[in-house]
Structure 1
Amino acid sequence: MPTATQPRRKPPTHGFTVCELLVVMACTGVLLALLLPAIVFARESARRATCGSQLRQIGLATQAYHDSHRRFPAAWSDDNREPGFVSGWATSLLAELGEPSLARRFADPAQSPSRMNEASLKILVCPSDIAEPQFELRADTDTDTDDDAFAASAAADQLGDVLLTLPTASYLGVFGTTEADDHDQINGVLQRTPSDGTIVHDRRVRFADLRRGASATILVGERTMARAPSTWLGVDVLGEDAECRLVGSAITRPNCEECDECEFDSRHPGGVNFLWADGRVELVSDSVDTAVYRQSSQRFVR
């Protein structure tokens, strides 16, 4: 027992040494490196499942529309209220998608469909994509020249005027193996590319027209905003890549980085979700055979 003259001893204290601290930091780093990819994968799996659920709802809406109208919705249709504006295929499904008030508003002759840019529909936006709720559609500035370098320079130096601000959508009708925005002026008349898909502009397509069967024909697919911002509402036909904002083409393969902006892509690892005409949703692999991929988008057998 210490006397009055003896100082009271403090109990010894213990702390981390520099070596121990470094070991703890290294272990924490290893654990994070192991856990983070699993967390990211789990979150993307949930997003992909949501995208698939949205596509299935679009499939149900499309089948209900077909039951009522004996056809699939047209890729786009002229809107006589506004020169140059065409409404997109998804506007035909608004009521079936649980948006009856928006459907009535769109059908109102006093409304301006092209100005309904605030009408963002969550069911038509895949949560996996990094997308803004709206985008600007600018006028096409194609210079009609064979000099690719000159055309690229001109496009860089001059952006077209903003024609419309449109709500973003992640899902596009399958136009087939041709590009919907590929057309020419012949004697002052716009001649569009013939289609071979199911969601098209130039003919009435029914289930009976799917010669390979509904289970072998893709109907709707995904596209990211990074490739080309797309919309459900409609476009001005004078806009840049206008028709390809509504429909997509299966020309090469999913997620083809060097391919045209009209093709399909997604942020899902390994492929792109597609809605098939029989109502199921499947991920089509990036490595799918090109011939098989193209055939799945065509309504007839070549």
Structure 2
Amino acid sequence: MTCLTTQSSRRTPATPCTAPSTARPTTSTRGFTLVELLVVIAIIGVLVGLLLPAVQSAREAARRMQCGNNLKQIGLGLHVYHDTFNKFPYGWDNRGMTWSGHILPQIEQANLYQTLIFQESGLGNWGTDDGPNEEACETVIPTYRCPSMALPLHMDYNGIPQRVPASYRGVAGTLATSDDTSTALPDTISLESLDQDGIFYACSKTKFRDILDGTSNTIMIGESYNNPKFVKDGQGMDYWYIGAPQTDPCRCDGGTGGTEFSEVAGVTITPVNAVIRAPLMSGRLMELSFGSYHLGGAHFLKCDGSVSFLTESLAEDVYDALGSRDGGEIPGEI
């Protein structure tokens, strides 16, 4: 190493030349104490506790919006069907075909509709193994499923191994108290009767001109709390689409052919979400009730194509007025 010095007029004592130090300054590091770590964990826990409900609420809001959009799509399909055939489809017919099957071409499911066989026997039967009608009932159609429904996509039910649960049913009206006339309440009718005051029932051919209460005052499709595993009084809370094996024997003459029409239609004689709110109600009435997996009510499609969320606290007379097409009522505030 060479040390450079400057000349000066005055001589100074020589200073030793030393090399620069290569040692690094020492720094002390300090970690979290146990108390500080516990505080941080507690803060994170509080933040997560505050954030999760907000995330869940946002997700449910999105699911509710999608559910309403499904009903709007169904409403559009029903209107197109009416424009084409000058009537709404049957609630169900004597082949067990339901309203949701009839409008498949109108909701962009024409290819699936073309596979159906319209006959009573052989491959046309809904219970024929590996038949096209059975396979149609095993096909997932997102338009017919609410995103909030807590059920698997497929269930083994009524002889259809991969049957797909549905979220929406037709409104048969306000009068029926059972699927079967033998179990209906006194002075009421069952879904076997052709004298319903709603839009969808056995071989119904309802037209816009029949909706005397006004299309904006009449509901035609409602959400349903589907839970096939819940059975009360021998009645399962199960709802399906396209075809129904148990409904198949229906003769559309007001007789006793067929059963379990509640799989595809409901009534407003029972309150919204009766499965949850009225546990003491008979199973025959309960399965006719509309409801949903949303908190506080359910979505309904009106005949004018609009969708409303009807709350569980809706007055009974207002709910009944919305359920009938020609009762002459003036629904109050929803």
In the TM superposition, what are the counterparts of 1:9-28 in structure 2 within 5 Å? 11-28=27-44
- Map 1:28-67 → 2, pairs under 5 A: 28-67=44-83
Q: Distance in 2 between matches of 1:266 and 1:60?
A: 21
Structure 2 residue aligned with 1:105: 115
Q: What letter is aligned with 2:314? A: V
Matched residues in 2 for 1:235 and 1:164: separation? 14
**1:128 maps onto 2:138 in alignment:** no
Superposed, 1:225-236 pairs within 5 Å as: 225-226=226-227, 228-236=237-245
Aligned position for 2:85:
69
Alignment-derived partner of residue 208 in structure 1 = 209
Contact 1:168 1:232 in 2 (8 A): yes
Are 2:179 and 2:191, in contact at CA under 8 Å, matched by a contact in 1? no
Cα pair distance change 1:238/1:113, threshold 3 Å = closer
* 1:118 and 2:133 matched: no
Query: Who is 1:169 aligned against?
Result: 166
Note if contact 1:220-1:274 (Cα within 8 Å) is conserved in structure 2. Answer: yes
C-alpha separation in 2, matches of 1:107 and 1:166: 18
CA RMSD in angstroms comes to 2.7
Cα drift, residue 282 of structure 1: 1.1
Query: After the TM superposition, which of the residue ranges 258-267 and 270-279 deviates more from structure 2?
Result: 258-267
TM-score, normalising length: structure 1: 0.79
- CA distance 1:180–1:134, change in 2 (3 Å): farther
Contact 1:236 1:242 in 2 (8 A): no
Deviation string, structure 1 residues 28-66 (Cα, Å, up to 9, x no partner) = 121112111110010011111111111101001001111
The change in CA–CA distance for 1:214 and 1:180 in structure 2 (over 3 A counts) is: farther
Structure 1: 4+ residue segments shifted above 6 A: 238-241
Alignment gaps of 5+ in structure 2: 1-23, 127-133, 184-189, 231-236, 249-257, 329-334
Distance 1:166 1:233, change over 3 A: farther
Secondary structure at 2:93 match in 1:
strand
Aligned partners of 2:77, 2:263: CA distance in 1, in Å?
A: 20
With over 3 angstroms needed to count, the CA separation of the structure-2 counterparts of 1:172 and 1:48, relative to structure 1, is: same
Larger radius of gyration: 2
SS at match of 1:234: coil
Matched with 1:224 is 225
- Comparing 167-176 with 51-60, greater Cα deviation is found at 167-176
For 2:177 and 2:116, how far apart are their aligned partners in 1? 27
CA distance in 2, matches of 1:191, 1:169: 19
The answer for unaligned runs of 5 or more in structure 1 is 1-7, 80-85, 139-161
| Whole-angstrom CA distance in 1 between matches of 2:202 and 2:294 | 29
TM-score (norm. length: structure 2): 0.72
Q: More strand by proportion, 1 or 2?
A: 1
Classify 1:238/1:267 alpha carbon distance in 2 versus 1 (closer, same or farther; 3 Å): closer
